[in-house]
Amino acid sequence: MSFSSESESISLARRHRKAKLFSIFCGMVTWSGVLLLAVLLYQVSIDGFRWLDWQFIDSFPSRFPERAGIKSALVGTIWLICLVALISIPVGVSTALYLEEFAGKGKISKIIEVNIANLAGVPSIVYGILGLAIFVRFMALERSLVSGALTMSLLILPVIIIASREAIKTVPMSIRYAAYSLGATKWQTAWAHVLPASFPGIMTGVILALSRAIGETAPLIMIGALTFVAFLPEGPMDSFTALPIQIYNWVSRPQQEFHELAAAGIIILLTVLLMMNATAIYIRNKTERRLK
Amino acid sequence: MSEFEDPSVLPEINTPMNKKSALELREVNIFYSDNQAVKDVSFNIRRNRITAIIGPSGCGKSTLLRSLNRMNDFVEGARVEGELLFAKENLYGKDVDPVEVRRRIGMVFQKPNPFPKSIYNNIAWGPLINGYSDSTDELVEKSLKQAALWDEVKDRLHDSALNLSGGQQQRLCIARALAMEPEVLLMDEPCSALDPISTAHIEDLMFELKESYTIVIVTHNMQQAARISDYTAFMEMGDLIEFNVTKRIFTRPSVKRTEEYVTGRFG
Amino acid sequence: MAKEMQADTAVADQSSELKATSSISASKVRWGESAIKTWLALCAFVSVVTTAAIVILLFSETLNFFESVSPAEFFFSTTWTPLFEPSSFGVLPLIWGTMLVTIGAAIIAIPTGLASAIYLSEYASDRVRKIIKPVLELLAGIPTVVYGYFALTFVTPTLRNVFPDIQVFNALSAAIVVGIMILPMVATLSDNALRAVPISLRQGAYALGATSYEVTTRVVVPAGLSGVMASFLLAISRAIGETMAVTLAAGQTPNMSLSMFESIQTMTAYIVQVSLGDTPTGGIAYQTLFAVATLLFVITLVINIVSQIILNRFREVYD
């Protein structure tokens, strides 16, 4: 077989050009995503910046934009995250430990695994409905922080479980065998060796899960977090509002000022999230470097 | 005639619990799901001696070793039949607690696996979780001395065990196992991941240890088995081909297959 | 030699007295261990109980709903006015609204997400990856209410400059924003899938004189196809379940119009609308909530299961 060298070199050039264009195209697309993020953040910042002051943080919401603030929303969110952490971390990590260390590979484990994978994909608003029917109405916990915390915990539980399992899986079997050979039980081994070794990975997963919980609005709307709250919750049974709810409330108002207030609230929300994500990434990098 | 040529000293396979035996294996069969890894193995492991199990890869020697301290329990689908007698009880009896078994029969693994903790805590942890209430300092020192590691680490007991060299780590693992004061110490190719000098250290160690402990070692290094062990079991494809005093196995084996293996004609 | 043997036996006897004191039988039941194992198992069952609760709750209330409203009307009628008189319970407009937004979002997110994934796995240097990966994570972590804000205050006004007769609440704005929201998901999951393709496959193709474009489109992407497709499906499922952005940007007007410039209502937006009003338990309004939620749940569940099947059954075996 012979090729005409001229047509071959032309088509080769064309192919190379195509490849070059393709790579440039893909690069541009990717960087425009970064650009988009920058635009979004910039937009939010200039909209909301002038409202950001101590008064904003320290005031309750009001009909008058100049007097409105996110105090109740901020406190509500803090309460919520603490309760959610208290509930979801033990249950999530316990489930991961059970699946990795204690359960066999039989049918029951498989069922639980598939369950968790499916729950991870259920829309958050369905969790809200679940919370409404079971915690608010059936268990008569009303529209309280507890209802919200339980609902959110169920929402992020699959995330914590999956991340914890991944972390636990990276602990080498040889460590476990060493412990077993010394006459240790499974729990003694898990507590003294597996958990400490997987702790950074678990922490990263927990932080990311909690940061998801902070930003969720729909489930809280469903269970009835209030949108105009001029008081601070004092106990887990009190009603409450949260940052995303307050933001949503302000965004849905027609006035420009409330949109800007919403932007200010978003700046605070994003700052908190950014700090949490940065912590998680920091922990992850430190552990990866240590393992190398 | 030395002890090792007097046939009356040979461990008799079919006598019931022999006072000189630490462990007795009777018609042991081990399966992984449908595969049979060990077929009908019977021999005695004599107290305060070193018994070596040799054979080509895949002959079942590690599987057999792991069955002696119930470590096969952790393999899905592993099944052990037959009797493994220890202190008058079958290791696989109905009421036997595998955790108790492992307290009394310790193990050192092929690749050193110290915990990512300090040298001190590596050794102290096992006894502590098993209810040890005396001075751990003394226990740690005693165990490290028994493993011939004390002098090298006595000034840095609280350093991470992972900073030790390979040979030191393995001696640490030996010390860790000895801290439990087991009656039997199982060693699964303990030197195969080490350099020759560390290997020599550990072989010297084993000579000292056999005065207080019973040692069972699996090794693919025939010269090692010939150097250090008192009794040798030769396995091939799950069968026990021959079990005898080591000197006999390597100079005048009774089975042709054994002779072929030890003279290097295969494996 | 006989004396040696005697001494030997004597030592053996002594040590057997000292050590064979405790039996290897389970002399004590490990209460602590059992209790802990029980606690751990109970925690694991929380997930099973949650699924059961969701299913039972949704389906039982939906059955109640179908006692008042015929399934035929629900699935085939094209008018959705459950809260007004005359009430009509055709859910198609809600499905249509959801689909408009989802398809629009998919058109935006899938090609760009895949292109980003290709860039990240085939072209980008490690340094570039180190910047872009965290950016993608950040984008993925932005709460949906922020995207809703972005749609209302930035996207819609910009669109209005280009298309003056677009409504304030419209499907296009929501679709754009939801597309941006699911883009990181497509990019990250597809990137993982492409990186899982062994280098040897690429090298084989390059060795035959192929260009990077040819290697990528004809070898790498087909090799990682199951992971890539699964990422598409998961992103679509996420778009369907998205609530806040569409509620804020797309409006509350259920209709079956083909235009993306008009206000529509998605399933999720309807659920929010109902719950923001005071819904008495047991009333027909309360029940529509469950009927729509069940539909939403079933659709996303089916898509998720299909994506898992694609991931598991058709996972390419490289060795």
Query: Per the CB < 8 Å rule, is A182 touching B126?
Result: yes
pLDDT tier, B132 (very low <50, low <70, confident <90, very high otherwise)? confident
Query: Per the CB < 8 Å rule, is C136 touching A95?
Result: no
Q: Chain B contact for C12, CB < 8 A?
A: yes
Interface test with B, best of C15, C24, C30, C37 (most B CBs within 10 A): C24
- Write out chain C residues lying below 8 Å of A23, CB-based: 119, 122-123, 212-213
Which of C50, C116, C289 lies closest to A33 in CB terms?
C116
pLDDT tier, B8 (very low <50, low <70, confident <90, very high otherwise)? very low
Query: Per the CB < 8 Å rule, is A36 touching C135?
Result: no
Query: Virtual CA dihedral for C58, C60, C66, C67, nearest 10 degrees?
Result: -150
Pairwise CA distance, residues A183 & A175, whole Å = 13
Q: Count the neighbouring beta carbons within 10 Å of the beta carbon of residue A24.
A: 12
**Residue C22: per-residue pLDDT:** 57
**Residue A229: per-residue pLDDT:** 76
Q: Chain C contact for A158, CB < 8 A?
A: yes
A101: left (phi over 0), alpha (psi -120 to 50) or beta: alpha
Cβ atoms of A68 and A228 within 8 Å: the answer is no
Q: How far is CA C113 from the centre of its chain?
A: 16
Q: Count the neighbouring beta carbons within 10 Å of the beta carbon of residue C67.
A: 8
Query: Per the CB < 8 Å rule, is B74 touching A180?
Result: yes
Query: Per the CB < 8 Å rule, is B71 touching A193?
Result: no
Query: Per the CB < 8 Å rule, is C5 touching B3?
Result: yes
- Write out chain B residues lying below 8 Å of C25, CB-based: 89, 93, 95-97, 100
Q: Chain A contact for B111, CB < 8 A?
A: yes
Token representation of residue A103: 């359960």
Chain A residue nearest residue C57, CA to CA: A130
CA of B213 to nearest chain C CA: how many angstroms apart? 10
Chains touching chain A, criterion 3+ CB pairs below 8 Å: B, C
| DSSP for residue B192 | T
What single string gives the DSSP state of each residue in B201-226? HHHHHHHHHTTTSEEEEE-S-HHHHH
Of B85, B92, B97, B160, the C-alpha closest to B130 is: B97
Which C residues 259-318 touch A at CB under 8 Å? 268, 271-272, 275-276, 281, 289-290, 293, 296-297, 300-301, 304-305, 308
Q: Chain A contact for B59, CB < 8 A?
A: no
pLDDT tier, B15 (very low <50, low <70, confident <90, very high otherwise)? very low
- Write out chain B residues lying below 8 Å of C27, CB-based: 97, 100
Which A residues 49-88 touch C at CB under 8 Å? none
* Element containing residue C145 per DSSP (H, E): helix C144-150
Which of A19, A29, A126 lies closest to C211 in CB terms?
A19
| DSSP for residue A100 | I
* Element containing residue B39 per DSSP (H, E): strand B35-46
Cβ atoms of B71 and B143 within 8 Å: the answer is no
Chain B residue nearest residue A193, CA to CA: B115
Q: How many pairs of residues across A and C have Cβ atoms under 8 Å apart?
A: 245
| DSSP for residue B135 | -
Q: What is the pTM of this model?
A: 0.88
Q: Chain B contact for A183, CB < 8 A?
A: yes
Pairwise CA distance, residues C85 & C93, whole Å = 17
Cβ atoms of B174 and B145 within 8 Å: the answer is no
Which C residues 178-217 touch A at CB under 8 Å? 180, 183-184, 187, 211-214, 216
Query: Per the CB < 8 Å rule, is C276 touching A221?
Result: yes
Chain C residue nearest residue B93, CA to CA: C25
Query: Virtual CA dihedral for B107, B110, B112, B116, nearest 10 degrees?
Result: -70
pLDDT < 70 regions, chain A: 1-4, 6-7, 288-292
Of A274, A275, A249, the C-alpha closest to A262 is: A249
Query: Per the CB < 8 Å rule, is A26 touching C119?
Result: yes
Which B residues 85-104 touch A at CB under 8 Å? 99-100, 102-104
Please list the pLDDT of chain C residue by residue as tens digits (319 residues): 444 444 444 444 433 322 334 566 665 567 888 899 999 999 999 999 999 999 999 999 899 888 888 888 888 888 888 877 777 888 888 999 999 999 999 999 999 999 999 999 988 888 988 888 888 888 888 999 999 999 988 899 888 888 888 888 889 999 999 999 999 999 999 999 999 888 898 899 989 888 888 888 888 988 888 889 999 999 999 999 999 999 999 888 888 888 888 888 999 999 988 888 766 666 787 888 899 999 999 999 999 999 988 888 766 665 4
Q: Establish whether the linkage from the previous residue to C86 is cis, with ω within 30° of 0.
A: yes
Chain B residue nearest residue C19, CA to CA: B183
Cβ atoms of A171 and A198 within 8 Å: the answer is yes
Which of B69, B111, B114 lies closest to A181 in CB terms?
B69
Q: Chain C contact for A30, CB < 8 A?
A: yes
The answer, yes or no, to whether residue B171 has pLDDT greater than 50, is yes
* Element containing residue B51 per DSSP (H, E): strand B50-54
Upper half-sphere CA count for residue B41 (Cβ side, 13 Å): 37
Token representation of residue A128: 């809200």
Q: How far from A12 is each of A9, C106, C215, CA to CA, in Å?
A: 5, 34, 14
Which C residues 121-180 touch A at CB under 8 Å? 122-124, 131-132, 134-139, 141-146, 148-150, 152-154, 180
Query: Per the CB < 8 Å rule, is B97 touching C26?
Result: yes
Pairwise CA distance, residues A289 & C144, whole Å = 33
Pairwise CA distance, residues A40 & C213, whole Å = 32
Query: Per the CB < 8 Å rule, is A33 touching C136?
Result: yes
Q: Chain A contact for C22, CB < 8 A?
A: no
Residue with tokens 């760009």: C112
**Residue A53: per-residue pLDDT:** 83
Pairwise CA distance, residues A237 & A217, whole Å = 20
Q: Count the neighbouring beta carbons within 10 Å of the beta carbon of residue A131.
A: 26
What letter represents residue A191's amino acid? W
Q: What are the backbone dihedrals phi and psi of residue A186, each rounded to the nearest 5 degrees, phi first?
A: -60, -40
Of C26, C80, C259, C248, the C-alpha closest to C155 is: C248
Which of A105, A177, A183 lies closest to B113 in CB terms?
A177
Instruction: List CB contacts of A161: < 8 A, sequence separation 6 or more.
Output: A92, A95, A96, A99, A116, C47
Query: Per the CB < 8 Å rule, is B176 touching A182?
Result: yes
Which of C32, C50, C148 lies closest to A154 in CB terms?
C50
Of B197, B206, B152, the C-alpha closest to B174 is: B206
**Residue C316: per-residue pLDDT:** 61
| Helical segments of A182-255, H only | 186-189, 195-215, 218-223, 243-251
Q: Count the neighbouring beta carbons within 10 Å of the beta carbon of residue C2.
A: 6
For residue B26, what are the β-bridge partners? B83
Query: Per the CB < 8 Å rule, is B87 touching C20?
Result: yes
- Beta strands B50-54 and B89-90: pairing type? unpaired
**Residue C2: per-residue pLDDT:** 45
CA of C14 to nearest chain B CA: how many angstroms apart? 11
Query: Per the CB < 8 Å rule, is C23 touching B93?
Result: no
CA of B107 to nearest chain A CA: how many angstroms apart? 6
Cβ atoms of C194 and C224 within 8 Å: the answer is yes
Of C33, C50, C234, the C-alpha closest to A88 is: C50
Query: Per the CB < 8 Å rule, is C24 touching B104?
Result: yes
Of C94, C52, C246, the C-alpha closest to A217 is: C246
**Residue C135: per-residue pLDDT:** 84
Pairwise CA distance, residues A21 & B160, whole Å = 53
CA end-to-end distance (rounded Å), chain A: 52
Pairwise CA distance, residues B155 & B149, whole Å = 11
Cα-trace Rg, chain B: 18
pLDDT tier, B218 (very low <50, low <70, confident <90, very high otherwise)? very high
